[in-house]
Amino acid sequence: MKTLLENLNWRYATKRFDENKKINKKDLSDLKEAIRLSASSYGLQPYKFIVVEDQTVKEKLRAAAYNQPQLTEASQVIILASYTEVKEEYIQNFMKDVAETRGLKVSDLEGYANMIKGASMTLPKDQQAVWTAKQAYIALGFLLTAAATLKIDSCPMEGFNAEEFDEILGLKEKGLTTAVIAPVGYRSEEDATQNQKKVRKSNEDLFINI
């Protein structure tokens, strides 16, 4: 636990990345595996992760993110895109994965599938989109923690035009929309914010013990 807390104290929302430093394949693979293992409601994972390395695409994304430099300086930009609605096919595909992984028949999971459908598909479409976006934010927490563990810098960002991102990445036709983004890489020596003390509420102010 001590090491985890040290890593969380080490991380900060990196404002400037060293564009000459790239994440190696092994660390990137480990980072992707860690966020693949993220918790999500029912284990449904109603999202996709888009890992952008292409510099031309990153330039377009930067323009759609109010010209913030992280988009082009970072080694990769990870887009957490959530489904705009919950479709029955997503749940059925999940049941097939569960059955195959656990040695079950899909028919054995009918009750579980119906429970998920009843809880998610009956929501109004706008609420379905909110629910799937919340799942993406859970994954964001895993991403930030895993990156800190690997001593990879990151910057969670909401400052972007989601419609422009969706158009650049061709997400609309996939039933997805950009929920949140996280450039990842290594901090630049020119980033003065890395030397600022972390500001967080005290335990007394943050926690209510009952």
Q: What is the pLDDT of residue 47?
A: 98
What is the domain partition of the chain in residue ranges? 30-86+123-188
- Residues 6 or more apart whose CB falls under 8 angstroms from that of 37 comprise 142
Rounded CA-CA distance 132/199 in Å is: 30
Distance CA 200, CA 197 (A): 10
The predicted pLDDT at position 32 comes to 97
- CB-based burial label for 101 (10 Å; 0-12, 13-18, 19+): exposed
For 4-22, the pLDDT digits (tens) are 999 999 999 999 999 999 9
Residue type, 170: G
Q: What is the pLDDT of residues 76-134, one digit of tens each?
A: 999 999 999 999 999 999 999 999 999 999 999 999 999 999 999 999 999 999 999 99
Q: Which helix (H) or strand (E) holds 176?
A: strand 176-185
DSSP string, 51-74: EE--HHHHHHHHHTTTT-THHHHS
**DSSP H helices in 152-198:** 162-169
- CATH (residue range 30-86+123-188): 3.40.109.10
Instruction: Using pLDDT thresholds of 50, 70 and 90, give the confidence band for residue 159.
Output: very high
Residue 175's pLDDT band (boundaries 50, 70, 90)? very high
Band (pLDDT 50/70/90 cuts) for residue 1 is: confident
Using the predicted structure, report yes or no on whether residue 2 has a pLDDT greater than 90. Answer: no
The per-residue pLDDT for range 35-91, each reduced to its tens digit, is: 999 999 999 999 999 999 999 999 999 999 999 999 999 999 999 999 999 999 999
